[in-house]
Amino acid sequence: MPELAAHVRDVPVNQIREITEAAWRTPGALVLSIGEPGFPLPRHVLDAGMACLDRDETNYTPNAGIPGLREAFAARFREQQGVDVGADRVYVVAGAQQGLHLAMSLLLSPGDEILIPNPGYPTFAMTARLLNAEPVGYPLYPGHGFQPRTEDIEALITDRTRVLVLNSPSNPLGAVLGGDLTRELMELARRHDLWVISDECYEAFTYDVPHISPARFDGGTRGEARVFTSLTLSKTYGLTGLRIGALVCPPELKQQMDNVMESIVSCVAAPPQYAALAALTGPQDYVQHASRHYRENRDAASAVLDAKGIPYLQAQGAFYLWADLSHASGGDVRGWVRRFLADAGVALAPGTAFGSIGEGWVRIALCGQKQDLLEGLSRLPARTGLE
């Protein structure tokens, strides 16, 4: 059998999937390793998708998506971020992951470098490697609240650097970038003429702080605009399996976007698009209920960790807690989460899934039922003494 391409062979295992699939094979396991919202979908969203099938509307849609959905995404972005974005800049994609792949396909040539957060979501690096580009992690240190520092990023920029990836609210950290820091990062990108990919999958869920998109500080013309904003309805409305999101692009890229979209996926299926349109334009009770649930779970989980003496980053957004289990993991958190699943029946995402700085840390998903969350955390080993 011929060998696969080297850049495919070198893509690392996604450690989140590794532990989660092991948990799914473990009877009675409490799965706190994956960000899967657990609420029933609103009836009007389901009805809209099924009505599309009932109409037999199963033909191709435009590359960029149905017009109404593009406008709904644009209207939400204008309302929430105050950015003058028209529907012509919105491309409907098969989930945020496809949007990230689409953006990187436009921006990266073989050998180019892309700056990604460390710790950061694993597919930032995986997708770059599939395009023969080189991911370069910029550090997010515990001593700085896991916030990026412009000087750390600037020190990594070379003549091959093309793209800066920002992620706020952060998966896995729950950290949120403030306005001043976001402006500084955009000024850095302008100084070095970098594109910016902004992953805003969790924009609907922040706690006592605003979500501020880098697009607020972007230029208004093609010559100056540099931000691609990745959005999804997977987390906001619990539509993970429908694979629906949007990529908001700089202006005047229609032909290039159409060409690349056609070559990757052609278009998104019609039923998820109509379900998404109903979600964006209909009642927002689901989002409000989910936000309250995640905040309550965050506070309840924090109380358990406090009682056990386990350090963690106070989550300002998303629906994860980033906790320090170095007292138990012995320098191998990936191995420790496997043993913890086998011994305690609880699955946690190892911090090394998100980068080298994640060693010793775990990501705890807060989106499930509170009783399962608290039961799982009750089995964590307490931190005692002066470790």
pLDDT of residue 384: 82
Q: What are the tens digits of pLDDT across the range 335-358?
A: 999 999 999 999 999 999 999 999
145 against 252, higher pLDDT: 145
Q: Residues 6 or more apart from 387 whose CB is under 8 A from it?
A: 326, 327
Bridge partners of residue 228, in order along the sequence: 197
- DSSP-derived secondary structure for 165-210: EEESS-TTT-----HHHHHHHHHHHHHTT-EEEEE-TTTT-BSSS-
* Measured CA angle at 369 (ends 378, 343), to 5 deg: 40
Backbone angles phi, psi at 256, to 5 degrees: -65, -40
Please provide the distance, in angstroms rounded to a whole number, between the alpha carbons at the two ends of the chain.
52
Q: How many CB atoms lie within 10 A of CB 384?
A: 9
pTM, entire model: 0.95
Q: What are the tens digits of pLDDT across the range 239-277?
A: 999 999 999 999 989 899 999 999 999 999 999 999 999
Closest listed residue to residue 368, CA positions, set 312, 309, 302, 296? 296
Instruction: Categorize the per-residue pLDDT at 57 as very low, low, confident or very high, splitting at 50, 70 and 90.
Output: very high
Rounded distance between C-alpha atoms, residue 267 and residue 260, angstroms: 11
pLDDT of residue 387: 45
pLDDT of residue 8: 85
Instruction: Categorize the per-residue pLDDT at 318 as very low, low, confident or very high, splitting at 50, 70 and 90.
Output: very high
Percentage of the chain beyond pLDDT 70 is 98
pLDDT of residue 359: 98
- DSSP-derived secondary structure for 237-261: SS-GGG--EEEE--SS-HHHHHHHH
Mean pLDDT, the chain, rounded, equals 95
